[in-house]
Amino acid sequence: MTKIKVLQSALRDNMGLLSHDRFTRPLRSSRFSGETVRTNTRIRLLLTGLMLLNNIAAAQTIYEWHGDNNERNFSDLPPNNVDATATNLSATPTNEAEIEQRLATEDEARAAKVISDEVNRETAAAAAEEAAQRKAQRAANCARARQIQKKYNSNRRIYEAGPDGEPAKWLDIDEERSKAQKNVDTWCD
């Protein structure tokens, strides 16, 4: 006898599922309703459902413990002689609209950050360029102030030129040297 026939006969004898006359012939009558009830099939369905519920309930508890080398171990059955922490798991259905909305929000936040970073880089570059221009202007002013100071320190008399280039007014040399020194102090570090 082949393995399939052995299985079929075992199923037929024990469960009554493959026997044609068992499907059509009632096994027992129900006292409560007066109609013929297939009690055997109902009991099998009830037991099967209870077994599935038991497996589902057992699968929702996970045990965690640390092994010999401090590695973490997980199981759906509690280990023997080991202190394990039980964690109940619960599953919630996935809300695709909520996930899409969260992803869209995260994408918008990333895009806003990229734009913000670019604006910050441009602002920093503009500030650096402005600082470089101020530094260059300050260096030019310092060079001009030192040139004037050198000129005033090397001369005994200073005049203000008129429109024709001739001396129009003679200036106080000490006062002009003091002004030149102030300009050097202001523009040079």
Give the chain's end-to-end CA distance (angstroms, integer): 108
CB-based burial, 148-167: b 16+ in 10 Å, e otherwise: bbeebeeeeebeeeeeeeee
In this prediction, residue 9 has a pLDDT band, given cuts at 50, 70 and 90, of low
Question: Tell me, what amino acid is at 184?
Answer: V
Q: What is the mean pLDDT of residues 55-69?
A: 71
C-alpha dist (Å) from residue 137 to 35, 130, 143? 108, 10, 10
| C-beta atoms surrounding 145 within 10 Å | 20
Helices (H) and strands (E) in the chain, counts: 5, 7
Q: What is the mean pLDDT of residues 103-114?
A: 94
Q: What is the mean pLDDT of residues 99-111?
A: 93
Using one digit for the tens of pLDDT, what is the confidence trace for 67-91? Answer: 888 888 878 788 888 888 887 776 6
What per-residue confidence (pLDDT) applies to 20?
45
CA 109 to chain centre: 10
Using one digit for the tens of pLDDT, what is the confidence trace for 30-46? Answer: 454 444 445 566 676 66
Mean pLDDT, the chain, integer: 77
Using one digit for the tens of pLDDT, what is the confidence trace for 116-160? Answer: 999 999 999 999 999 999 999 999 999 999 998 998 888 888 888
Q: Where are the domains of the chain?
A: 3-88, 96-187
**Parallel, antiparallel, or unpaired: how do β-strands 72-75 and 158-161 relate?**
unpaired
Query: Model-level pTM?
Result: 0.40
What per-residue confidence (pLDDT) applies to 38?
55
**Residue 180: exposed, middle, or buried by beta-carbon count in 10 A (0-12, 13-18, 19+)?**
buried
